[in-house]
């Protein structure tokens, strides 16, 4: 007999409300199956199971609000554990962004329709598709859009004020418990931007790479070389990650943010990373994330983009031991071979946990990110 418990979806979660069971007693489940939906301050999250067996008992009924760690259901003949014996295989390359995304259990929907639904707060699960093979089109989303001037509906379970309180509690805990140190590196982004320009020259706008993909790729490769910064602090000791699973901070419309994981980011090519980023942003703003995406990050990156500040000093998200902040790219005077000239510059900042690492290792990480961005053709 194995207990299936309410998972922790981050340091800002203390309890969750069971809003849907997707299995019944007697059902057979396997690792990765979505078995329930739980409401948290982050909205409604699909909960995956990490064991195999037969559901023998549903302990918490729909509507029950229980603390993290509470037994939700019991399984017979369960096998497997949260941690696999070996790292999971590299996921297959993502389909082109222009293709209709197909995920088991999710409706087919065009990228433009998904973006429109996210912008208007529309749950795509409730939209009937009229496109090829039942795909949801822009017209389908328009048909269920609220009237002009109406407030877009919030996904059930999402309370921006509650999320803000939860974020504040997690950040207060972080500053209280984690001995932060900060390092910053100013990086010339010329080589990175030049590569993006060459790669995007023949691509339609929806398939073009953004600077975030290069920053993510360089960061992931650098983190793989500094394992002291990739993992979590639990039970008074550092536990290294089983891979480089980078949490990418995403601002939500209406307030708040989430940082779902891109698993094995150091093993994924640029196009795959760009597709993964776009997919995460769309699903995060549609409140369609899975529990593993919120619980798996081993390090988090916050990138301000071209609308942000020049630099950011991140606060580590516990139980992780490091966080990287990337400012916007700005044109600044820069000395090249003794000559002063304008260059696109970006500030990259590291917040490290002194219990797990020190400034020397943190400095090596930033230096490696810098080196990789200067050699952007190799990314």
What string of pLDDT tens digits covers the 379 residues of the chain?
889 999 888 777 888 889 889 999 999 999 889 999 888 877 778 899 988 899 999 999 998 899 999 999 999 975 544 443 344 444 444 443 333 444 445 677 876 677 667 656 677 777 877 766 677 876 677 676 654 444 444 445 567 777 888 888 889 999 999 999 999 999 999 999 999 999 999 899 888 999 999 999 999 999 999 999 999 999 999 999 999 999 999 988 777 889 999 999 999 999 999 999 999 998 888 878 888 898 889 999 999 887 778 999 999 999 999 999 999 999 999 998 899 999 999 999 999 999 999 999 999 999 999 999 999 999 8
Sort strands 34-40 and 15-21 into parallel, antiparallel or unpaired: antiparallel
- pLDDT, tens digit (0-9, with 9 covering 90-100), for 216-247: 999 999 999 999 999 999 999 999 999 999 99
Q: Does domain 97-153 have CATH number 4.10.320.10?
A: yes
Rounded CA separation 128/144 (Å): 9
The pLDDT value recorded for residue 138 is 67
* Alpha helix stretches (DSSP H) within 144-269: 160-177, 190-200, 211-224
Task: Name the residue ranges covered by the structural domains of the chain.
Answer: 2-79, 97-153, 166-378
Cis peptide before 319 (omega within 30 of 0): yes
Q: Which residues contact 85 (CB under 8 A, 6 or more apart)?
A: none
Contact 155, 118 (CB under 8 A): no
The pLDDT value recorded for residue 289 is 87
According to CATH, the topology of domain 2-79 is OB fold (Dihydrolipoamide Acetyltransferase, E2P) (2.40.50)
First to last CA, the chain: 47
- pLDDT, tens digit (0-9, with 9 covering 90-100), for 112-134: 677 667 656 677 777 877 766 67
The pLDDT value recorded for residue 210 is 94
Tokens 């696109």 belong to residue: 344
Of 3.40.50.720, 3.30.559.10, 1.10.8.420, 3.30.160.270, which CATH number belongs to 166-378?
Answer: 3.30.559.10
């Amino acid at each position: 007999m194995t207990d299936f418990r309410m998972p922790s979806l981050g340091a800002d979660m203390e309890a969750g409300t069971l809003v849907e069971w997707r299995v019944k007693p007697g059902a057979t489940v396997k690792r990765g199956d979505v078995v329930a939906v739980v409401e948290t301050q982050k909205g409604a999250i699909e909960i995956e199971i990490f064991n195999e067996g037969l559901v023998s008992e549903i302990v918490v009924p729909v509507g029950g609000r229980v603390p993290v760690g509470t037994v939700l259901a019991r399984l017979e003949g369960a096998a497997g554990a949260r941690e696999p014996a070996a790292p999971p295989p590299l996921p297959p390359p993502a389909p082109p962004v222009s293709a209709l995304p197909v995920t088991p259990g999710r409706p087919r929907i065009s990228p433009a329709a998904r973006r429109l639904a996210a912008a208007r707060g529309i749950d795509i699960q409730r939209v009937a598709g009229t496109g090829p093979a039942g795909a949801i089109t822009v017209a389908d989303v328009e048909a269920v859009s609220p009237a002009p001037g109406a407030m877009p509906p919030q996904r059930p379970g999402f309370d921006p004020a509650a999320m803000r309180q939860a974020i504040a509690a997690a950040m207060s805990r972080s500053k209280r418990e984690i001995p932060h140190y900060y390092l910053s590196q100013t990086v010339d982004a010329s080589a990175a931007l030049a590569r993006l320009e060459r790669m995007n020259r023949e691509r339609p706008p929806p398939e073009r790479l953004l600077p975030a993909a290069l920053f993510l790729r360089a960061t992931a490769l650098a983190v793989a070389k500094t394992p002291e910064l990739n993992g979590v602090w639990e039970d008074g000791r550092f536990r290294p990650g089983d891979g480089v699973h980078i949490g990418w901070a995403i601002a939500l419309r209406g307030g708040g943010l989430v940082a779902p994981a891109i698993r094995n980011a150091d093993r994924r090519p640029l196009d795959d990373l760009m597709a993964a980023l776009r997919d995460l942003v769309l699903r995060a703003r549609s409140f369609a994330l899975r529990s593993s995406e919120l619980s798996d990050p081993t390090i988090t990156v916050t990138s301000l983009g071209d609308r942000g500040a020049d630099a950011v000093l991140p606060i580590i998200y516990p139980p992780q031991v490091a966080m990287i902040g990337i400012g916007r790219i700005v044109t600044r005077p820069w000395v090249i071979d003794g000559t002063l000239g304008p260059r696109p510059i970006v500030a990259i900042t590291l917040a490290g946990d002194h219990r797990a690492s020190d400034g020397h290792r943190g400095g090596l990480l930033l230096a490696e990110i810098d080196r990789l961005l200067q050699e952007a053709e190799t990314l």
